[in-house]
Amino acid sequence: MSAITDRGYKNPDVLVSTDWVAEHLTDPSVRLAESNEDVLLYPAGHIPGAVQVDWTADLNDQVRRDYITRRGFETLMSRIGATPKTTIVFYGDKNNWWACYAFWVFQLFGHTNARIMDGGRVKWTKEGRAMTREVPAYSPAKYRAPERKDAPVRAFQKEVLAHVKAKGQLVDVRSPEEYAGTRMHMPDYPNEGALRGGHIPRAKSIPWARAINAEDGTFKTAGELKDLYVTTNKLNPAKPTIAYCRIGERSSHTWFALKYLLGFKNIKNYDGSWTEWGNSVGVPIEK
Amino acid sequence: MPLPPKLQSILDTFAEFPDPADRTNLLLSYADVFREVPPSVATRPFGKDHLVPHCESEAYVWALMRPDGTMTFHFAVENPSGVSAKALAAILERSLSGLRPADIAEVTPDIVEHIFRQNISMGKGLGLMSMVEAVRALAKRQVRSMQ
């Protein structure tokens, strides 16, 4: 794969390579954060110095279906020893699904000093780089976060309904079977409770994984991404766009690609996604 | 129907550790002692008829009959991220090998919940339960063949 800076991305700085990470393992201004679906992966081995940011335990409210509050974010950042000036570099399993999801949640609190390690855990391990089970201990940091600001990057159902009425751009990043309504969960995943199958009217079906190179989990070049999203699927980067999946994790990956790599001006992630839409009374559904 | 004693003992041990970190360490200790199927039983490329369905860790399972009428299980986990699958494979191999097919056929996939609890991720759950189902199916097939 070509160097990140040679791929034509609108915002190449938001991606770092495994080489870059290897060179910054002891950089105190950088904090590596591993976010996985499988909670056993981090304790089984992670990049030296990396902390774990778990999507359920650290990012989600433990009672309501929502994200942590400002105070929760401050507690998290204190635990991982990060200040507002710390560069957080996320990486993880599943080709960085959860890394992008964590990255997106961090944007709700305005922590823009964040990066994704291109290729994630799979690339790092394929390259035979160092892994450890040693959990680092960082001195608790003082982090004063702003109140969570959802509007710039997060869409709620009411906004999605208005968006549908306005014939706005939507991207359904689930599998083609989920989009068609023949399946209500990911292949090989349990059905997590959607009563209806199908997709939000006029949503384009662009499964998230088409944005990556399967062999090493890296993002495709800007040219390839543009072919996929703009040329083939007729998405206009200048128009408001909403991405969704099942609970907002896969669509975080697409959100990241559209916002930072292709420079979509107004792209939001609808984290309620199909588990909300497919259970809601009276909302329009297409099959 | 009570669980086989070795399996029950392992579940009891997990039940003694309510703290997620302790359970994680216990699971990792099983993953660490996972032994891949020996070459005398199977070599790559493994036959797809041994592939556990719905398991993203690409787990394979083999069952051998011993002369005394008991079974032995072997596993392979091809996904390098399949730590949970390796842990479960080690548990199943150690607790069910040496038992009669009829006893193994009674083991149900809900043991996965008892073992993994909060350590189970949404995607892993189905795959891990499929591993138990695969073992169970092999045992049931053996029961039928003996009737």
How far, in Å, CA of A179 to CA of A274, rounded?
10
Between helices B5-15 and B83-96, what is the axis angle to 10°? 140
Q: How far is A20 from chain B, CA to nearest CA, in Å?
A: 23
Confidence of residue B121 (pLDDT cuts 50, 70, 90): low
The verdict on whether A100 is a catalytic residue reads no
A177: alpha, beta or left? (left if phi > 0; alpha if psi -120 to 50) = alpha
pLDDT at A187 over 90: no
Chain B residues within an 8 Å CB radius of A36 = 121
With an 8 Å Cβ cutoff, are A37 and B124 in contact? yes
pLDDT in tens, A22-61: 999 999 999 999 999 888 899 999 999 999 999 988 999 9
> Nearest chain B Cα to A39, which residue?
B119
| Residues of A engaging B, defined by a Cβ cutoff of 8 Å | 36-41, 43-44, 93, 121-122, 125, 186, 188-190, 192
A219 forms bridges with which residues in the sheet?
A212
Do B119 and A121 make contact, defined as CB atoms within 8 angstroms?
no
Dump pLDDT digits (tens) for B13-55: 999 998 888 999 999 999 999 999 999 999 999 999 999 998 8
Report the distance separating Cα B131 and Cα B126, nearest Å: 9
Query: CB B119 to CB A44 under 8 A?
Result: no
Cβ–Cβ < 8 Å for A225, A257: yes
pLDDT number for residue A186? 60
DSSP string covering A11-34, please?
Answer: -GGGEE-HHHHHHTTT-TTEEEEE
Cα separation, A98 vs A103, whole angstroms: 8
Marked catalytic residue, from A80, A88, A116, A245 = A245
Closest CA to A203 of A259, A258, A242, A239: A242
Is it the case that residue A193 has pLDDT exceeding 70?
A: no
pLDDT at A172: 98
How confident is the model at residue B126, as a pLDDT?
83
Confidence band, pLDDT 50/70/90 cuts, at residue B92: very high
Report the distance separating Cα B24 and Cα A222, nearest Å: 40
Distance from CA of A203 to the nearest CA of B (A): 25
CB contact under 8 A, A37 and B28: no
Inter-chain CB proximity A38 and B55 less than 8 Å: no
User: Among A5-19, A202-216, B108-122, which stretch is predicted with the lowest mean pLDDT?
Assistant: B108-122
Predicted pLDDT of residue B56: 85
Measure B125 CA to nearest chain A CA, in Å.
8
For the stretch A123-160, pLDDT in tens is 999 999 999 999 999 999 999 999 999 999 999 999 99
Contacts of A227 by beta carbon, 8 Å cutoff, 6+ apart = none
Nearest to A2 by CA among A224, A198, A183: A224
pLDDT in tens, A266-275: 999 999 999 9
Distance CA A5, CA A12 (A): 6
Q: At what angle do helices B122-146 and B83-96 cross, to 10 degrees?
A: 30
Query: Strand B71-77 vs strand B59-65: parallel, antiparallel, or unpaired?
Result: antiparallel
Q: Which chain B residues are within 8 Å of A41, Cβ to Cβ?
A: 81, 83
Asked whether the predicted pLDDT for residue A108 surpasses 80, the reply is yes
DSSP character for A259? Answer: I
Task: Give the pLDDT confidence of A65-104 residue by residue, as tens digits.
Answer: 999 999 999 999 999 999 999 999 999 998 999 999 999 9
Which of B28, B121, B126 is closest, CB to CB, to A188?
B126
- Distance from C-alpha of B111 to C-alpha of A2, rounded to nearest angstrom: 46
SS3 at position B103: helix
- Which pTM was predicted? 0.91
Residue A185 banded pLDDT, cuts 50, 70, 90: low
Averaged pLDDT of chain A = 95
Q: Which of A40, A190, A192 sits opposite B24 (nearest CB)?
A: A40
Q: What are phi and psi of A25, to 5 degrees?
A: -60, -30
Nearest CA in chain A to B28: A44
pLDDT at B137 over 80: yes
Phi and psi, residue A158, nearest 5°: -60, -40
What pLDDT is stored for residue B122 in this prediction? 60
Contact B123 A43 (CB under 8 A): no
Nearest to A40 among B54, B83, B123 (CB): B83
- In one letter, which amino acid is B60? Y
Strands of the sheet containing A15-16, edge to edge, are A15-16, A114-117, A87-91, A30-34, A51-52
A:B CB pairs within 8 Å? 49
Q: What is the pLDDT of residue A38?
A: 85
